[in-house]
Amino acid sequence: MDFPVYDVIVIGAGASGLMCARECARAGKKTLLLEKNPAPARKILASGNGRCNLTNSRVSPAFYQGDPKLISLTLEKFTFQNCLDYFAALGVLTTEEEQGRVFPATGKSTAIADSLRLAVGEAGVEIQTDAEVIRIKRNKTFAVFTKAGNIFQSHRVVLACGSCAYPQLSGTQSGYQLAKSLGHSIVEPRPALSALCIRETALSRLTGIRSQVRLQVYQTERVLDQAEGEVLFTHYGLNGPAALNVSSCVSRALKNGNVSLTLNFFPQLKDPQRFLQQRMAVFPNRRPKDFLVGILHESIANLLIDFIGLRKNIPLSEQSPHALQRLVQIPCAWPLTVTAVRPWNEAMAATGGVNTREINYNTFESLRCPGLYITGELLNIDGKSGGFNLHFAWASGFIAAQAVSEEKTYGRHRQKNNQLK
């Protein structure tokens, strides 16, 4: 039986898949895009709380976890300005907000999703939805088998299946399984951009309260990561941007044991301990609660007073030297213990994935299976919140499409990966 033969089949109509499919078709390649859901761009529509934070003016390797060389090369080839120009050419008007976050000016993710869908169709990509790929077989060409019983053939295949994060938005293990079946090893996926579970149960007294903090992550007394921004206290621990932005590092570190955090409630101050010492000299006769009025939320102040061990109705001048020392130190570095990262259905991204040492850094082509390309969140690369993960998805899809579209990738001059020895 004869099956359709394509130049390239892209599996997954998310950010990297849509980008890659469009660019392959624009280069004249007969392109098929297979999506397991009823419609493409499902995660794009949900991203940024429905607003789609598509990139960030601060995009740089510092905002990513994973292979530093692959990250650096990718961001050099597809810069922040490249991203802005690309979506401007699609007709999308964007606006930059605080912390470099870029959104469509409409304030709705449909501006990105619909523009990409239109562009993909106009480029001539054949799209099939409700087409879940269950197996890929490689001989002279690739045979791609779907759950519905269809079989397609292609010279090239791009795995752009995404991670297992957010299963309610179609995140699954299928991409890892397909990559593994074609010879790749998988770094165990763990939740990222997810809230943190804290051992100290007294923290639940602060449920619902938000605070600006500087948060540092430690393991065996070594600083692993830090973030500054808002945290939301919950019954289980910490949520909010600052917690999410260290969660990838925490998730990786937890496999080696519990992880420690410190919270500084005065991130705006250069020397908060000196500030508290000077304040104590000005207000020596205030009770602890009154001393903290105007600088800490009342509930946070009450919890810290208990944690420090201050006598509530005694002025500072009559407190013990040890308690006063803790009053200076603890609000600037409140120690907490992370026991877990919240589960997959709350995680916006994943650490782990396809081992990037098995990928050509310049093209995203597999070193284990020539003709196979792997992009986006399926790789062991993840970014902080703020548009960094979407930027990497666009970039990897774009770069892979460029490589697929070059005729030399079909012949004996296949570029070799220079990072392996």
286 and 394 housed in the same domain: no
What separation in angstroms does the CA of 74 have from each of 5, 98, 375, 377, 380? Answer: 30, 25, 11, 14, 14
356 and 139 Cβ atoms separated by less than 8 Å: no
How far, in whole angstroms, is CA 199 from its chain's centroid? 25
Instruction: Note down the domain range covering 17.
Output: 5-191+344-410
Element (H, E) at 227: strand 222-233
Q: Which amino acid is at 21?
A: A
C-alpha atoms less than 13 angstroms from C-alpha of 77 in its C-beta half-sphere: 22
Give the CATH number, domain containing residue 356: 3.50.50.60
The structural domain count of the chain equals 2
What separation in angstroms does the CA of 172 have from each of 196, 234, 338? Answer: 22, 27, 26
Rounded CA separation 104/52 (Å): 7
336 and 306 housed in the same domain: yes
Q: What angle do CA 19, 20, 23 make, to 5 degrees?
A: 85
Q: Does the residue 418 lie in any domain?
A: no
297 and 336 Cβ atoms separated by less than 8 Å: no
- What is the token pair recorded at 43? 């995660």
Confidence (pLDDT) at 362: 98
Confidence (pLDDT) at 419: 43
357 and 386 housed in the same domain: yes
26 and 115 housed in the same domain: yes
Final residue of a structural domain among 289, 321, 341? 341
Final residue of a structural domain among 341, 365, 380? 341
Rounded CA separation 17/12 (Å): 5
Q: Which amino acid is at 226?
A: Q
106 and 241 housed in the same domain: no
172 and 210 housed in the same domain: no
Residues in CB range of 172: below 8 A, 6 or more apart: 161, 164
182 and 35 housed in the same domain: yes
267-287 core/surface letters (b: 16 or more CB in 10 A; e: else): beeeebbebbeebbeeeeebb
Q: What angle do CA 78, 66, 256 make, to 5 degrees?
A: 165
C-alpha atoms less than 13 angstroms from C-alpha of 322 in its C-beta half-sphere: 4
Q: Does the residue 112 lie in any domain?
A: yes
Rounded CA separation 245/387 (Å): 12
36 and 59 housed in the same domain: yes
Residue segments in the chain with a per-residue pLDDT below the cut of 70:
1-3, 407-421
Q: Tokens 């050099």 sit at which residue?
A: 76
| pLDDT tens digits for range 120-148 | 999 999 999 999 999 999 999 999 999 99
Confidence (pLDDT) at 406: 87
Rounded CA separation 352/189 (Å): 4
| Strands across the sheet containing 55-56 | 55-56, 101-104, 94-96
Q: Does the residue 187 lie in any domain?
A: yes
Q: Does the residue 17 lie in any domain?
A: yes
Rounded CA separation 374/354 (Å): 8
156 and 206 housed in the same domain: no
